[in-house]
Structure 1
Amino acid sequence: MTRAEADRASRDASLVLAMTLPGDTVLYLLLPLHAAVFGVSLAEAGLLLAANRLVRILGYGWVARGYEVFGPRRACVVAVLAAACATTGYAVLPGVWWLLPARLLWGLAFAAMNIATQALATAEPTGASRRSGASRGIIAAGPMIGLLAGAVLAEVAGPRVVFLCLGAVSLLGLVFAWRLPDGEAVRLSAGGPRFALPRSLDVWSFVQGFALDGLFVLGLAFLAAQAMPEGAALAAGGALAARYLAEVLLGPPAGRLAERFGAARVLLVVTLASAAGLAVIGAGWLWVGSLMVVGLRGLLQPLPAPVAASRAPPEERVAALARMATWRDIGAGIGPLAAGILLPLVPAVFLYLGAAAVLVASSLHALRR
């Protein structure tokens, strides 16, 4: 694959995910705030938010093998259709046992699209960090707009109407999925197991998923509802949308910084600063700490894939990416479960300061080289 071909394929795969991802990110906002409307408890909401990641822990290998057989175009077309069905299901299905299959379907669909974005961005080593940064900027635009629009629409028409609209928007991803390559040049090589004992970077990925993708996101909605019962959806939605705005604005510069100074070095600095943001939340400054975390996420998101790809032999590149993604999903799947159970029982200061300390330790172990 030439550099120009890799640029175009990475861009199209990113647009596919940008169209479909709002159906997932908006659920993280609205489900904890409107759990009763969906017929679930807060603990069941945590289970549902974790389910899409938990199924990927088991399903990444199967999805990757399907991607190898069918190629990016057909894999992503199927994934878009599955994502649209899942998102529409959030609008019409009642209770945890009906919503759970929709979450599992979404998890497998995301796995295919996530493999496509990372594999195509790193298919050509030259410019991989730059493409990864541009990819995150494109992908983040969808959730950013979806969170803001979804928060407003939920206040006016209720949360279920939001997911009917997002299900329709997901289908726009078919346009870009059909433009993806469908040939041997971009097929993945198995390169080893998708699930294996964690290496140091995988441990970091697990902790990052637990703290920044799981505990932080569910905890933000929970703490916002306590801090300001009126308008909590708009406040939390604005904070989460700022996270994706940060990715839109800072993802491409982060990729360029990684090209210049090294992805691992930049990732270490950003992760330590993110841990400081969690500590600020634990100390009681919810919105200051939240803005720190969501802003730094814009710099962080493009960096792990180039780090993992650069440390692996060429024949093991995809396996390393899949293994890191799997351990991140384990952490991010456990995070909402732990938050849903512990936040009503344990003072937030202990949860957030503890998460910050573990994130610092794992970052220094994995990235200080």
Structure 2
Amino acid sequence: MTPSRRELLPVLLPLGIGIVLSLAGDLTLYAVLPAYAGQHAFSLAAVGLLLSANRLVRLVSNPLVGMLLTGARRRGFVLAGFGLGALATLLYVLASGTGLFLAGRLLWGISWSLINIGAYCMLLDAAEEQDRGWASGVIQSSIFIGMTINPLLGAVLSDRFGFTIALAVCAAIQAAGFLLALFTLPETRPDFPKLRLSLKEATRGARSGWKERLSALRTLANPQNAAANYVYFAASFIGDGILLSTLSLYLQNHYGDALTFGGRLNSWVVPVASAGGALLALRAVIAALTAPIAGAISDRANLNADERLHAQRRWQTITWGIIFGVAGLILIVSMRTPLALLAGVALAASGSAIVVTVTPPLARDINPGHDSGAFLGLLATSSDLGM
């Protein structure tokens, strides 16, 4: 690890660990809420609404948080996200009906906007051009690790202690992430005034902040911004909207009740539900391993390069991610052998990880001289539209 990357660890470690812990409640719900819906008298339609409400509210909260972060200190936003996320999970514990549970889901959506966009703003503040891709990969790996660990943890806790106690444990886990960030996460924009001491100074600061935000909005018409948002949307649509949501159904339609690995003499039969879960876990693990490598490759291309070439180098890396993703999907749908399926899932996971890792640093490269908040808020919205 280079000295410049070691200097980023005081920012990346609290963010990464906090992100893993913050996902405990949300991903536990995805894993077990359908099975425990009867305990709260939730209909199937209500379960669908509850599990999607957090993403719907983020279509509004993402751009708003991005705009508010433009020209603002970051740490308070991220801490608020971690704290409100723990509160959202606590609302699930206290809920006896749909209303309070829905409030928790909406609060979690806002919390994730604060965490996700705030974390990326912090890493782009702290990292230089030659480290931004790697730092983005560390954050993405944290998300993928959380996606791997938390559903399993939530399912085990629910089976052992019950749904409500499992969520209470998840709330405590998230509170631990908040406390870790509270005591260890530094501010990456200390140059921005913390407190306006007079009405005149506050008015001047507000005008300056909104001028920066409006200037950032005008640059969103840049064709490269539109292209970056499109590939970010496409990566989420393929990775989460299609692969994550339909893989088990695809396996059942094309392989029946079980997949058979090996030959006639040494065959291994795996039930389709288990195979689907294992493939999704494999997808998350591969993506977690790929993300920092892809980011580092895009950074290596930037060493000693003219500033005008930074975005071009990022685009080259993203192009390879698109190629891997398309190749993976082709393997999945056209080759009906288990080994081809494994290869397809691995390629698709790698491709998606490359795109979502390199695009945020690209947003910084193609918008020089502007704060990252507005652009990252729009990227997060594009991602949620694809899910």
Which TM-score tier does this pair reach, normalised by the shorter chain? 0.7 to 0.9
Measured against aligned partners, the alpha-carbon deviations of 1:330-356 in whole angstroms (never above 9, x if no partner) come to 222xxxxxxxxxxxxxxxxxxxxxxxx
Please report how far the alpha carbon of residue 13 of structure 1 lies from its aligned counterpart in structure 2 after TM superposition: 2.0
Pick one of 221, 245, 251 that aligns with 2:285: 245
Q: Which residue of 2 aligns with 1:63?
A: 65
Give the conservation status (yes or no) of the 8 Å contact 2:138–2:291: yes
Cα pair distance change 1:107/1:163, threshold 3 Å: same
Distance in 2 (alpha carbons) for counterparts of 1:233 and 1:162? 23
Measured against aligned partners, the alpha-carbon deviations of 1:178-216 in whole angstroms (never above 9, x if no partner) come to 222347437696353499777122222223323322333
Unpaired segments ≥5 residues, structure 2? 193-208, 259-269, 302-312
Q: Which residue of 2 aligns with 1:125?
A: 128
Distance in 2 (alpha carbons) for counterparts of 1:281 and 1:196? 35
The farther-off stretch of 288-297 and 129-138 is 288-297
Cα pair distance change 1:292/1:183, threshold 3 Å: closer
Give the conservation status (yes or no) of the 8 Å contact 1:147–1:240: no
Measured against aligned partners, the alpha-carbon deviations of 1:204-257 in whole angstroms (never above 9, x if no partner) come to 222332332233323246667886699887655543333332243222211111
Give the conservation status (yes or no) of the 8 Å contact 1:9–1:181: yes
Distance in 2 (alpha carbons) for counterparts of 1:108 and 1:80? 11
Q: Which residue of 1 aligns with 2:244?
A: 217
Cα pair distance change 1:209/1:47, threshold 3 Å: farther
Measured against aligned partners, the alpha-carbon deviations of 1:154-192 in whole angstroms (never above 9, x if no partner) come to 444555543332221111112332222347437696353
Cα pair distance change 1:184/1:132, threshold 3 Å: closer
Distance in 1 (alpha carbons) for counterparts of 2:257 and 2:43? 20
Whether 2:323 is the aligned partner of 1:272: answer: yes
Please report how far the alpha carbon of residue 142 of structure 1 lies from its aligned counterpart in structure 2 after TM superposition: 3.0
Q: Which residue of 2 aligns with 1:172?
A: 176
Q: Which residue of 1 aligns with 2:348?
A: 293
Measured against aligned partners, the alpha-carbon deviations of 1:106-157 in whole angstroms (never above 9, x if no partner) come to 1111111112221122123331112112232334333322233234344445
Measured against aligned partners, the alpha-carbon deviations of 1:66-102 in whole angstroms (never above 9, x if no partner) come to 5568733332222222111222334453555443221
Pick one of 302, 305, 308 that aligns with 2:360: 305
Cα pair distance change 1:54/1:130, threshold 3 Å: same
Give the conservation status (yes or no) of the 8 Å contact 1:83–1:109: yes
Distance in 1 (alpha carbons) for counterparts of 2:73 and 2:93? 31
Identity %: 26
Q: Which residue of 2 aligns with 1:315?
A: 370
Whether 2:139 is the aligned partner of 1:140: answer: no
Q: Which residue of 1 aligns with 2:294?
A: 254
Give the conservation status (yes or no) of the 8 Å contact 1:16–1:113: no
Q: Which residue of 2 aligns with 1:358?
A: none
Q: Which residue of 2 aligns with 1:149?
A: 153
Q: Which residue of 2 aligns with 1:109?
A: 111
Cα pair distance change 1:162/1:269, threshold 3 Å: farther
Distance in 1 (alpha carbons) for counterparts of 2:293 and 2:138? 8
Distance in 2 (alpha carbons) for counterparts of 1:223 and 1:93? 35
Matches within 5 A, 1:152-231: 152-178=156-182, 179-182=184-187, 184-185=189-190, 190=213, 191-193=215-217, 199-220=226-247
Give the conservation status (yes or no) of the 8 Å contact 1:151–1:234: no
Give the conservation status (yes or no) of the 8 Å contact 2:74–2:121: no
AA aligned to 2:323 is: L
Distance in 1 (alpha carbons) for counterparts of 2:328 and 2:364? 28
Cα pair distance change 1:24/1:4, threshold 3 Å: same
Give the conservation status (yes or no) of the 8 Å contact 2:28–2:153: no
Distance in 2 (alpha carbons) for counterparts of 1:42 and 1:221? 19
Distance in 2 (alpha carbons) for counterparts of 1:49 and 1:223? 22
Please report how far the alpha carbon of residue 329 of structure 1 lies from its aligned counterpart in structure 2 after TM superposition: 1.5
AA aligned to 1:213 is: D
Give the TM-score of the pair, scaled to structure 2.
Answer: 0.71
Distance in 2 (alpha carbons) for counterparts of 1:245 and 1:24? 19
Cα pair distance change 1:314/1:84, threshold 3 Å: same
AA aligned to 1:273 is: F
Distance in 1 (alpha carbons) for counterparts of 2:88 and 2:273? 22
The farther-off stretch of 295-304 and 186-195 is 186-195
Distance in 2 (alpha carbons) for counterparts of 1:250 and 1:222? 26
The farther-off stretch of 217-226 and 23-32 is 217-226
Unpaired segments ≥5 residues, structure 1? 333-369
Distance in 1 (alpha carbons) for counterparts of 2:249 and 2:101? 21
Give the TM-score of the pair, scaled to structure 1.
Answer: 0.74
Give the conservation status (yes or no) of the 8 Å contact 2:75–2:118: no
Measured against aligned partners, the alpha-carbon deviations of 1:305-336 in whole angstroms (never above 9, x if no partner) come to 1122212222154322221221222222xxxx
AA aligned to 1:252 is: P
Distance in 1 (alpha carbons) for counterparts of 2:137 and 2:53? 28
